[in-house]
Chains A and B, each alone.
Chain A
Amino acid sequence: MSESNRNSPSTPNRATAHPAGRSMRALLRSRTACVGLGLVLLHLAVAALAPLLTSASPTANVPDDALLGPGSDHWLGTDALGRDVLTRVLYGGQYALAVSFAATACAVALGTVLGCATALKGGRTDGALMRVLDAVLAIPPILALLVVVTVLGAGPLVIVLAVTLVYTPQVVRVVRAAALGVAPLDYVTAARARGERTLPILLREVLPNIVHVVAVEFAMRASWVVLLISSLSFLGFGADPPTPDWGLMISENRTAMVVLPWATLAPIIALATLVVGLNLSADGLSRLWNVDRSEEAS
């Protein structure tokens, strides 16, 4: 890649499409996006600062304190093993957030690269890849996840890998559709005419113009991944038992739901607010940047 191309007119429709180029003010004006991103940031902050917010241990068993109702010592009561529910809820986001964000980042990154590349390449490669991805899409995510976990054994790394495998095809579809809209535009043709190779075209011409689609896709996908991973924990294939995790807490405490509703309701509320936050972010951002979301049926 020669130096002169650095200044090529790569982003003509900056005003409508380039998120980084737009001021924070537009973002702050969208109430939906603000509330959504606020909720997600709140969850990230609580997960990161959990040890500062509470002095209790999320995993230590205190049999004498088992199944207490809400009180001054334990604001939300304790579970069957005498662990403080509030403490476990505060710590509970760590596993879900870490695994979900890692998996979403992998799926979105891989999907973006594949989606852009296949849209630019077109022809037979594109047709063949889409066929294979259709075949992957036909297998339900949770089943694919369970098969991978059965064969490779549970563990955060395996789950990240499996979720990446399951959700990359959906990201490819969305990104490919967006890239196909950009590919026939003049500045891409110009770059091709200059004799640039596919990778630089992809990075400098196509990607900056679909960043907004990728950002919305990230928020949307993250909400699906959080739900999927919590389902996996609920079924007993995600987080391992002493780990504080919302999905796991719901499955542990639901038998005592009548006696101690808060032990189940608190992790439910935490999980739901995180997903609401991600959905609101996706909604707000897509309205802000006029992203067409009809490709995101699932």
Chain B
Amino acid sequence: MLLYTCRRLVSAVLTVFLSAVLVFAAVQLLPGDVATQVLGQDATPEAVAALRDQMDLNRPAAVRFLDWIAGAVRGDFGISPVSGEPVADLLWPHLRNTMLIAVSTVAVAVTSSVVLGVVAGLYRDRWPDTLISALTLIGMSIPEFVMATLLVLLLSITVPVLPAVVLDEATAPVADLLPAVVLPTIALSVVMTAYIVRMTRTSVIDVMASEFVTTARLKGLSTPRVVVRHALPSALLPTLNVIAMNVAWLVGGVAVVENVFNYPGIGQLMLESVHNRDLPVLQAIAVISALVYVLCNLAADLGAMALNPRLRTGGGSRR
């Protein structure tokens, strides 16, 4: 148990480090000089040289990488050459705002997908299952920006209850941003739910056909008790992984949806940085996304281990 946890931790750290290497390599080593990239093609040679100096580009890439990663560990991602501010100062408020959407989306999507998946699995091939499967297919097939656009049409224009566009600064207090969180959360939840439901349904069907569920039924337990106490914990195991995988998608999905609502989150910062060619900011966002992804997968793996006695190998530290 302890050994497995340690091995998993080491491999998580290694994965994040490798991602950082890849991101750094993609940004710094691809054809074209970073200083020219930032300033654009028609910058004067003097300006390029000055920026090269400021960004320390004259030192070897490996040294710069080690410097950068050492700073990143302490939360210092360097200085944005576009705005002149420290990257971290730009990053944290946007990250906080995106977390508002991400956390509420995960909460809504996980709850609704577990409920819908269990219903679909229990009513296999009958009308509730057919209905849920059809809705799932539609949810999977409509891009999140379309979902967001349709929601704006429905809930901001036809029935004006929620704001279609956010005008707040990134540093606005959380309370001011809350109304703006609702629509992006709905748009992202619909798509995320669609993917998780499929997995939950399949694993509910598998578990309900298993011997221990039959035993529980034969003992004379009521169906709700069999489902909630016996089947659900096992059925949710494979779902944990799918949820973790979906978080990686969420980081990308958030970017597009934030753009529709002009919401001041990490996605908006990402697109701004792409437009301004602000590479240090992009680099920082990529590494933080990778970190979030790896942490979620780690949590899912450790959670699955805690829930599944068969995965607790090596030592009897826990029964």
A residues contacting B by CB (< 8 A) are 131-132, 134-144, 146-152, 223, 227, 230-231, 234-235, 237, 247, 250-251, 254, 257-258, 261, 264, 268, 271-272, 275-276, 279-280, 294, 297-298
Contact = CB atoms under 8 A, between A and B. Distances in A.
A134 B15 contact: yes
B135 interface: no
A139 B157 contact: no
Contacts of A147: 23, 26-27, 274, 282, 286
The 9 closest A-B pairs by CB, nearest first: A135-B18, A142-B252, A275-B141, A138-B290, A140-B252, A297-B245, A298-B245, A140-B251, A135-B19
Main secondary structure on A side of the interface with B: helix
Interface string B237-251: 010011001101101
Main secondary structure on B side of the interface with A: helix
Contacts, number: 150
Interface of B: 11, 14-16, 18-19, 21-23, 26-27, 30-32, 37, 137-138, 140-146, 149-150, 152-153, 157, 195, 199, 202, 238, 241-242, 245-246, 248-249, 251-253, 255-256, 259, 270-271, 274, 277, 279, 282, 285-286, 289-290, 293-294
B157 A298 contact: no
B289 A148 contact: no
Contacts of A148: 26, 30
20 contacts: A131-B15, A135-B15, A135-B16, A138-B16, A138-B19, A138-B290, A139-B23, A143-B285, A150-B279, A151-B31, A227-B143, A235-B259, A250-B145, A250-B146, A275-B143, A276-B138, A279-B140, A297-B245, A297-B246, A298-B248
A151 B149 contact: no
Contacts of A144: 26, 286
Given A143-B270, A151-B30, A275-B141, 20 more contacts: A131-B11, A135-B22, A136-B22, A138-B19, A138-B290, A138-B293, A141-B252, A142-B253, A143-B285, A146-B270, A147-B23, A151-B27, A152-B31, A235-B259, A237-B274, A251-B145, A257-B157, A268-B150, A271-B143, A279-B137
A272 B31 contact: no
